[in-house]
Amino acid sequence: MDIVHTVAELRARLKKEACIGFVPTMGSLHPGHLELMRIARDQVDKIAGANGCIVVSIFVNRLQFGPNEDFGKYPRTLADDCEKCRAAGVDVVFAPDESEMYPEPQTYVVEPLEIQHILEGAVRPGHYRGVATVVLKLFNMVQPHVAVFGKKDYQQCRVLDNMVRQLNLPVEMLLAETVRADDGLALSSRNGYLTATERAEAPQLNAALREIVVELRSGNRDYMALEAKAQATLSVRGWRPDYITIRRQLDLLPPIVGDRALVVLAAARIGATRLIDNLEVSL
Ligand code: PAF
């Protein structure tokens, strides 16, 4: 496995690769990321046989963090991450520093318009501009045939999938199911912030989503009441929900009569940690 830090090194390394599968990350890798790498490998193997090349980028992107968010304390574990990538059969780790990624102020950005202002975007203004901009830059640097993202960041998947389609980027997007701990907690680098007591409570976020899904499957369409009940249940347990909401999978807008492909999304704080989760439901 090669570890490269500059765009020039990356381009030289990838020049002769026939098929590139790409997993962009911010590091602090967990089994959810390893699953994305496995999916990337499967797909490039299908396209190019044994000639596929898997690239993982590791870069904590300041542009997608708000001024009061956890950019400073976000875990940076490059040596450990590289070991995990090596064990997962990754071919190239691209770990640029900030001056390589942003050698000058980034005055050209990707604005995802409406979708960047709802849900996560309403709570984290500018977040999806930062995500879309860095992913477009990474795509231009790596020039992958296939890119894999996890559905745990559901709105991010929508934003990036739309970007690829609307800007005609030559990348096949694969969206992977969320990997969970046995108790249902979605794996996330931010789970490491949880105290033992908070970790024991954390699966309740997923439990609240599952309860809504059961109700939807049994025919309940009173979306507002379902959302309010879940918010109240979590609040009583000490959570501070930002939102728990039932949306259309297509555009994350509130469902209208007849919509059958839905997703229940939640973001809530437990202690100092903000967790997100979602469940798709097809009725
Ligand atoms: O999902 C993430 O880890 C990040 O948002 C991404 C896609 C690597 C962009 O910084």
Sheet with 261-270: strands ordered across: 240-248, 261-270, 273-282
Q: For residue 260, what are the domain limits?
A: 189-282
Q: How far apart are CA 178 and CA 186, in angstroms?
A: 7
Ligand 1: which of 25, 76, 94 to mutate, most ligand atoms within 8 Å of CB? 25
SS (H, E, C) 83-113: HHHHHCCCCEEECCCHHHHCCCCCCCCCCCH
Pairing of strands 261-270, 2-4: unpaired
For residues 82 and 44, state if they share a domain: yes
Pairing of strands 273-282, 261-270: antiparallel
Q: What is the largest CA-CA distance in the chain?
A: 57
Q: How far apart are CA 191 and CA 142, in angstroms?
A: 29
Task: Kindly state whether residue 184 falls inside one of the protein's structural domains.
Answer: no
Task: Kindly state whether residue 183 falls inside one of the protein's structural domains.
Answer: no
Nearest CA residue ID for atom 8, ligand 1:
25
Q: Last residue of some domain: 135, 152, 176?
A: 176
Q: Last residue of some domain: 150, 176, 202?
A: 176
CB under 6 Å to ligand 1: residues? 24-26, 61, 64, 131, 134-135, 153, 156
Task: Kindly state whether residue 167 falls inside one of the protein's structural domains.
Answer: yes
Q: Mean pLDDT of all residues in the chain?
A: 97
For residues 13 and 132, state if they share a domain: yes
For residues 208 and 79, state if they share a domain: no
Q: Last residue of some domain: 176, 197, 222?
A: 176
Task: Kindly state whether residue 181 falls inside one of the protein's structural domains.
Answer: no
Q: Which atom of ligand 1 is nearest to the CA of 64?
A: 10
Residue showing tokens 């490059």:
78
Length of the chain: 283
Is residue 217 predicted with pLDDT exceeding 90?
Answer: yes
- Give CA 192 to chain center in angstroms: 17
pLDDT, average across residues 2-9: 98
pLDDT digits (tens, 9 = 90+) for 145-174: 999 999 999 999 999 999 999 999 999 999
Q: What is the pTM of this model?
A: 0.97
The pLDDT, as a whole number, for residue 35 is 98
Ligand 1: which of 33, 135, 188 to mutate, most ligand atoms within 8 Å of CB? 135
pLDDT digits (tens, 9 = 90+) for 37-66: 999 999 999 999 888 999 999 999 999 999
The pLDDT, as a whole number, for residue 207 is 98
By the 10 Å C-beta count (0-12 exposed, 13-18 middle, 19+ buried), 91 is classed as: buried
